[in-house]
Amino acid sequence: MTRANGPLHNLGPAARWCLTAGLVSDPHPPATLADFQNEGELLLNEGLAPVAFQGIESQTEWQVHPMGQAFYSAAMAGHLRSMAADAAGAKVISALTNAGISVAVIKGPSVARLHPQAWPRSYSDIDVVVSKREFSNAVSCSLNEGFEYSDRSIPQWRWFNLVCREGVNLHAHAGGNIDIHHHVPPWAFCKQFTVEHVIANSIPANLCGIPIDIATAEDQLLIASLHVLNDLWKGKIGLRSWRDIVAIMNSLGGDSSAQAFDSAGLGWLFALVTEALTNALPDVEFESSGVIDGQVPMSIRWRLEALGWSRQTSFSRHRLSWATRLPTANALAYLAGTAFPSPGYIRDRHGSLFNYWKAGWNETLSTRHGSDFRMTTVEDKLEGEQGIN
């Protein structure tokens, strides 16, 4: 948890440029074409193709550059996925509202509005928050609107969605996904930052002609910062979320940003985020709060390391590290339910409990040797984004 091993400690010039391009008043000179070529795989995987494309387009005829077509195709695909997500999201949010369910949109269009218009921020799903007591009704309502669980979303036990997960991902055949959360993830860090607060504090907006409520800039800043931890657990750096943080903090200013974190009991996260950004990006227009390891409580520090903050621990690549996202009682329920899944889950996926445990053991061995069970190639990750985000 020191500046030497934080998540942004080893970024190349193209990634650094993509984090601040269009967001700072005096940006660093663009990275070279060779930089974009060398870091192209990372930028594609991290969802920064639309920004990277503008970097290449400004320097050369993108059609003749090796990464130009890849960035362009990914940018256009991202734009189309955003449109599909908007259409599907507007439909289901309208249904939720008509059913009397209070809902607020987070991420997606809620954060995209905080980016400069000339630098669009793409997304592939609509994330909403609802209270825990309305969660089951919200899921049922969404299923009635044509959404369904993906194979990846089916938990080991039905009660996992309320006890061991912050929410559920649903998908529509026509395109567009919706993620319904009853807690802001990661759950363990959000005792004071609740979905009820986000909903009560939300502001009106419009999505495809449908009135919606969206998270405020202050709440969206917290959500983006917490989402970095989600991204790290998935094996990413979370560059798109880091760019969100830069955009929002530049808009709010350092004092208002710090106050938002403090009011949610997340002052330690503000310290870590600002240190990581200011050490990696000389162009950001806010100052580090001067974090030192002692400012991060030990109870939080081990969770961050398990989720992959330093990006040096193999445990962060193992699915059991999910438990570190959860409050203690929920984590214990998750570990017990993962060790002994429901008979139906075993029957449909592994055939026997022995085969299930064997697969888990093989996964453990693979992480010890430096591989990542989630997705290891750019092609797999791009396919996975389309399927589970």
In this structure, what token pair is assigned to residue 30? 């663009």
The DSSP bridge partners found for residue 205 are 212
What is d(CA 218, CA 249) in angstroms, rounded to the nearest whole number?
9
Query: Would you state the pLDDT for residue 28?
Result: 65
Rg of the chain (C-alpha set) = 20
What is d(CA 300, CA 266) in angstroms, rounded to the nearest whole number?
11
Query: Would you state the pLDDT for residue 367?
Result: 61
Closest CA to 221 of 326, 73, 306, 114: 114
pTM of the model: 0.89
Phi and psi at residue 169, to the nearest 5°:
-100, 130
The DSSP bridge partners found for residue 3 are none
Query: Would you state the pLDDT for residue 304?
Result: 87
Q: Which residue has the tokens 């091993």?
A: 5
What is d(CA 14, CA 375) in angstroms, rounded to the nearest whole number?
23
In this structure, what token pair is assigned to residue 178? 């919706």
For the chain, the domains span: 3-388
CATH architecture of 3-388: 2-Layer Sandwich (3.30)
Query: Would you state the pLDDT for residue 64?
Result: 76
Query: Would you state the pLDDT for residue 375?
Result: 37
Residues of the chain with pLDDT under 70: 1-5, 26-29, 287-294, 311-318, 366-389
What is d(CA 41, CA 282) in angstroms, rounded to the nearest whole number?
24
User: Which strand (E) or helix (H) includes residue 36?
Assistant: helix 33-38
What is d(CA 56, CA 14) in angstroms, rounded to the nearest whole number?
10
Query: Would you state the pLDDT for residue 383?
Result: 38
Query: Would you state the pLDDT for residue 60?
Result: 72
